[in-house]
Structure 1
Amino acid sequence: MTTRHPPRRTTSIARTGRAPGAWPVLGHLPHLLRAPLRFLGSLPAHGELVEIRLGPRPAFVLCHPELARQVMSDGRAFDRVGPLYEGSRAALGNGLATCPHADHRRQRMLMQPAFRSEHLPGYADAMRREIGMALEHWRPGLVLDMVDEMFALTTTVAVRTLFGGGITDRDIAELRDSLDTFLKGVYLRALLPAVDALPTPGARRYTRGLAGWRTHVTRIVGERRADDGDGGDLLGRLIAARDEAGGALTERELHDQVAVLILAGAETTSSALAWALHLIAAHPEAEAALHAEVDAVLDGRVAGPDDLPRLEWTGRVIREVLRLYPPAWVLPRTSTREIEVAGRRLPAGSTLVFSPYILHRLPEFHPEPERFRPERDQSDGVAPAAWSRASFVPFGTGPHKCIGDTFALTEATLALASIAARWRLRPASGTPVRATPRSVLTPSALPMHLIRR
């Protein structure tokens, strides 16, 4: 049977619009706080560049891959500056994921050697060890919240690969607890920076979490820097890195990069794994294909780096999960000069919003966008090749694309395959699973029964 796809757009349609439903004074903030995914999903119906209101300020949401490519590929014209990024840098520092264009090239050059392909097998072997240790604690009949379990696993992997074997379990637990508290408050503070002016219990928890996070990272980095050896870990390679002029990362820069790496390594991958476990349990055919693959490749053992080429279906599952629930679901940019986007002249200082969540659900590029279909092919002729690439952007796009995308895909694939090789997970609650927007899209809770295969 021939599958009929929506027709291609052969020209870029410069069409702008305005989102309805703005509140007086607050604009669309109530929608972004109460039901952000529903609100974002409604925007393409109003145009390819859609104006919303963040309180009294306008912002422009990119609802077409070509516009996203234009904005995200030009870091000079569309920079990571403005109020939203000022708040992020105040919390996370001026690391690779938050720094403005002026700092980005030097930072990326210093960071890139630590992510060369020749280092990946070593990182993957550390992943394999930590995945195996985590699964040793699972028992048939237990009910575990997979949001918590996957966050604990990926935080441990991030810290172990970053700091090596010298880090203690207590250090990891302290970092994980502080990070979790901090991450739960990030999204609210991006939209409402003044929220901490009120002495609420939530504000106090956030402040304590952020302070604890900074204290732990500073201490661990200081101790690790005093050690002369590279040790084959990420931090050793960052300490040894030099830019074109022979300069090294400063103490502050090193701290900021470590903070970003732990955040990205822990939160994004744990979100993808939690969603994968949820979606596989709800789709028997996809689960059967996953079990058939891991049985043939692993025969019950924990996956390692040598298994990756044969875990094709597992990789497809992870990519489809990232399409439906991209961790970095919304990213702002600020225009540094007056510029035209979609035929509209935007003044300098305009806020533009890039959302993989929106682009991944455009039916012109992803047929049946709401369905979980690991068999879909991102280059299946639905759209011209350049548009197709721009419409699947779970790790961002352009010069600021995530430096650790291969690291994250490797970890998620190894973890999902290892779990599926031994366990079948089933929901332990009839409560619908819903996304909780924080720094990434993660399920609010995911209690599941462990059933030994």
Structure 2
Amino acid sequence: MGDATIAGRARAVPTVRGWPLLGSAVPLVRDPLGFFGSLRSRGPVVTIRIGPQTMYVVNDPALVRQVLVDQAHSFDKGRQYDKLRPWWGNGLANSEGDFHRRQRRLMQPAFHRRQIAAYVPAMREVAEERIGAWPSGRTIALDEELYALTLSMVLRNLFAVAVEERHLATLQAALPVILDGVLWRCLDTTELLEKLPLPANRRFAAALADMHTTVDTVIARHAGGGADLLTMLREARDPDTGEAMSPQQVHDEVITVLMTGAETTRSTLSWVCHELGRHPEMQRRVQAEVDDVLAGQPVQADQLDRLPYTRSVITETLRAYPVVWLLTRRALTDVRLGPFRIPAGAAVCYVPHAVQHDPAWYPDPDRFDPDRFSTGQTSPAGCPASRRPRDTFVAFGAGIHSCIGEPLAWAQAITILATLAQRWTLTPAPHTRVRPAARMLLLPDHLPLVLHPRHTTTH
């Protein structure tokens, strides 16, 4: 696309006026989901200012697709990933260009459907062990229990054997501190706060050291030769050169799987349990489907696709509460998005939460309704759900940077939810209100639920 084409007949991008010096930082901090949701009415693309930096917010799903797929070569991942890379390493989630394509090609076999099926027995074992140990009739912080469960499951899939509890506890304490630390480093466009001798910076540095040391320790003790992710990563070879990943690259990919696997599945399942607790009729439908398909036995890999309503509940959760609710990009050249010109070097973002709450595609978007994904559902605009543009659901991204671990995430989530539905009925703790906390990930601020045992299982 030439410069003349880019410049010709471009429409002015609407600008959101903000506070002097701060721009839109105040409403963004106070209510980030509401703030970005309000931008949809301003236009397909709008500009906001966060401190001294101007950001282009892409609201239209068709233009989001241009950023992620059609013109992906014109963007890199932007500030969010610039801040992640020094601390997470250059794993698949952070890498760019030819190196990213090489790594994706090397790692793809580890996430093939047949390989995912080989991980399910370990997933099931962890789920049965952890969920079976939950206390009956008591209020528990289910988000914290799910975090311990998903982290254990990811570690088991990575290393084939159970990781020592002390290593699990170290990682469980470190990962949230790292995620929160990265978030405010992304928001601080002055880059001054991270250089100050603040207690938060010391906690962040200590958590990073703990994470990297623990991962190195567990990798060093790995025997190899199993049907686990680490073995797949070590044995992967570039088909053109025959080269394997370096030890440092294996380390970085393990960090990436940990950071993206445990926290994201924990977030999704926390919201699933919250909604099932609020909607007993939906919970009974999940339980009835699980009882019918599993017949009281532990879940098997070939049963995961035979739980359509369970999958719909998870899909609707991902729509209503996308784990990564905001993602950044940066224009490498002048780019034309529809009628709008984005200048080279501009910060760009899209907000899955806002896209997936557009009432044009999802009527009554704040209502939790797994049946909205059935083929007969239509929106007021007359769009059947089966023909809803695919870019109105971007929970796993799209294009060359879409989530390679999506099949693994689905297997983990369905295995855990099916195991939970067999054993427990969830009800909200009295006098509590759960609110979204839009930090680096979209998590519930807390999740107290009461566990009631079911008596329909036979194993």
When the two structures are superposed, what TM-score results if normalisation uses the length of structure 1? 0.91
Counterpart check, 1:19 vs 2:16? yes
Partners of 1:94 and 1:253 within 8 A in 2: yes
Partners of 2:132 and 2:423 within 8 A in 1: no
Distance in 1 separating the partners of 2:352 and 2:441 = 12
Deviations, residues 74-123 of structure 1 (Å, cap 9, x unaligned): 33201124x33221101211111111224210110111111111111111
Distance in 2 separating the partners of 1:381 and 1:135 = 38
Structure-2 change in CA distance of 1:23 and 1:131 (3 Å) = same
**How high is the sequence identity, in percent, across the aligned residues?**
38
Quote how far apart the aligned CAs of 1:151 are.
0.8
What does residue 5 of structure 2 align with? none
Deviations, residues 181-208 of structure 1 (Å, cap 9, x unaligned): 2223322221124332233322222221
1:91-110 aligned within 5 A: 91-110=87-106
What does residue 211 of structure 1 align with? 209
Distance in 2 separating the partners of 1:201 and 1:50 = 37
Partners of 2:271 and 2:317 within 8 A in 1: yes
Deviations, residues 105-153 of structure 1 (Å, cap 9, x unaligned): 0110111111111111111111100000001211212221111011111
- Give SS of 2:275's match: helix
Deviant stretches of 4+, over 6 Å = none
When the two structures are superposed, what TM-score results if normalisation uses the length of structure 2? 0.90
More moved, 126-135 vs 434-443: 434-443
Deviations, residues 217-241 of structure 1 (Å, cap 9, x unaligned): 12222333xx4x3211001110011
Structure-2 change in CA distance of 1:336 and 1:378 (3 Å) = farther
1:213-252 aligned within 5 A: 213-224=211-222, 227=223, 229-243=224-238, 244-252=240-248
Structure-2 change in CA distance of 1:339 and 1:152 (3 Å) = same
What does residue 447 of structure 1 align with? 448
More moved, 386-395 vs 344-353: 386-395
1:44-443 aligned within 5 A: 44-73=40-69, 74-81=71-78, 83-165=79-161, 167-192=163-188, 193-224=191-222, 227=223, 229-243=224-238, 244-377=240-373, 380=377, 382=379, 383=383, 388-443=389-444
Q: Which runs of 5+ in 2 are unaligned?
A: 1-9, 455-459
Structure-2 change in CA distance of 1:430 and 1:189 (3 Å) = farther
Partners of 1:49 and 1:342 within 8 A in 2: no
More moved, 357-366 vs 295-304: 295-304
What does residue 4 of structure 1 align with? none
Structure-2 change in CA distance of 1:268 and 1:15 (3 Å) = farther
Distance in 2 separating the partners of 1:15 and 1:116 = 45
Aligned CA RMSD, in angstroms, stands at 2.0
What does residue 3 of structure 1 align with? none
Distance in 1 separating the partners of 2:132 and 2:218 = 27
- Give SS of 1:376's match: helix
Quote how far apart the aligned CAs of 1:301 are.
4.2
2:232 partner letter: R
Distance in 1 separating the partners of 2:113 and 2:443 = 29
Structure-2 change in CA distance of 1:445 and 1:342 (3 Å) = same
Structure-2 change in CA distance of 1:268 and 1:303 (3 Å) = same
Partners of 2:22 and 2:52 within 8 A in 1: yes
